[in-house]
Amino acid sequence: MKFKLEYTDNASDARAGTITTAHGEIKTPIFMPVGTCGAVKGVHFSELREQVKAQIILGNTYHLYLRPGLDILRKAGGLHGFNGWERPILTDSGGFQVFSLTGIRKLKEEGCTFQSHIDGSRHIFTPENVMDTERIIGADIMMAFDECAPGEADFEYAKKSMQMTHRWLDRCLKRFNETEPLYGYEQTLMPIVQGCKYPELRRESAKFIADKGADANAIGGLAVGEPTEIMYEMIEVVNEILPKDKPRYLMGVGTPQNILEAIERGVDMFDCVMPTRNGRNAMLFTYEGTMNMKNKKWEDDFSPIDPDGCDVDRIYTKAYLHHLFKAQELLAMQIASIHNLAFYLRLVTDAREHIIKGDFTQWKNSVIYNLGLRR
């Protein structure tokens, strides 16, 4: 993987660049739709390509390991061969999902034992077998196995968790370097900065990760319950240390406002389930705020969903989408998911254009208030 930093904003740390992978280029800043089980919920790949304009999607190691399983993925030639997505893929290590299984997982130095949420069967994830699993999945970018501490964790827990994440990273790197890609193209391993809400831990973790010299670096353990202001502070602390010539990925974030604030602080890559999850619940993100399509106010509004949006935004009216949600038609969730994903990609594309123009901060300040409105 290569990264070329091409532009920086005049008044902030916002940047624009190009990531090159075996499956194509990614223009940053970028939002990555989440395809947990190898599919982005309710959206065809043709729509992802042509309307959403997704440049990269995510898969999840935990879910793909359980279903369809590694044998099927290996026989298919990896996730690209299995689902037919020809552009870049990033895989989460499954750490966040495993550690979310409160009551049915046990954490120790070796790794994490857990019960499947599907059938209760017992499994173990270690840094080594997660690397093997991500090799089989075949993503262009593989995430290191880490522990995502709860947002409310006290200092001692957060410190011990971070230190174990660092030890696990060393084991991930060793296994990664001992193994070869399985499908004839290069893969990249991305480490993750942890440290919860504590600046001194974040600095220590960022320094540890930066010293590994990876092709890209991630910031994890944010947007997990801490106040938004703390999240922004931790991004600033970490990005003072992470190398400027490598992409920075803020995991699991977030709202449109979160994304613009993080871009301003030097983040390049984002993912979040919010566009599709909120879309399925009739919440549409726009530059004029979030629309609840179940509200009666849209019942006789025959204007397009978003005249500046993608195809479904111009084809369908607010009244029609309101009707579909009231009638519980599956098409409602599909339209809303496509709209939201397309809007998120439009948001980061617009941000990139303003970074190139050199007026990102002025533009961001002009749109960020309306993004937070409820309509």
Task: Flag whether 8 is in a domain.
Answer: yes
Residues in a beta bridge with 60 = 92
* Statement: the pTM of the whole predicted model exceeds 0.85: yes
Task: Flag whether 101 is in a domain.
Answer: yes
pLDDT digit string, tens, across residues 322-332: 999 999 999 99
Q: What is the CATH number of the domain that holds 148?
A: 3.20.20.105
Instruction: Kindly tell me if the per-residue pLDDT of 31 is higher than 80.
Output: yes
Task: Flag whether 170 is in a domain.
Answer: yes
Instruction: Kindly tell me if the per-residue pLDDT of 106 is higher than 90.
Output: no
Q: What is the number of structural domains in the chain?
A: 1
Task: Flag whether 174 is in a domain.
Answer: yes
Instruction: Kindly tell me if the per-residue pLDDT of 175 is higher than 90.
Output: yes
pLDDT digit string, tens, across residues 85-97: 999 999 999 877 7
pLDDT at 27: 98
pLDDT, mean over the chain:
96
What DSSP string runs through 103-160?
Answer: TSEEE-SS-EEEE-TTT--EEEE-HHHHHHHHHHHT-SEEEPP-----TT--HHHHHH
pLDDT digit string, tens, across residues 308-318: 999 999 999 99
Instruction: Kindly tell me if the per-residue pLDDT of 295 is higher than 80.
Output: yes
- Its domain, for residue 186, covers 2-272
So which residues are the catalytic ones? Answer: 92, 271
Cα–Cα distance for residue pair 87/80, rounded to 1 Å: 8
Instruction: Kindly tell me if the per-residue pLDDT of 22 is higher than 90.
Output: yes
Task: Flag whether 168 is in a domain.
Answer: yes
Instruction: Kindly tell me if the per-residue pLDDT of 240 is higher than 80.
Output: yes
Mean pLDDT of 116-143: 96
Name residues whose C-beta falls within 8 Å of residue 342's C-beta, 6 or more positions apart in sequence.
Answer: 51, 52, 53, 309, 310, 312, 313
pLDDT at 211: 98
Task: Flag whether 282 is in a domain.
Answer: no
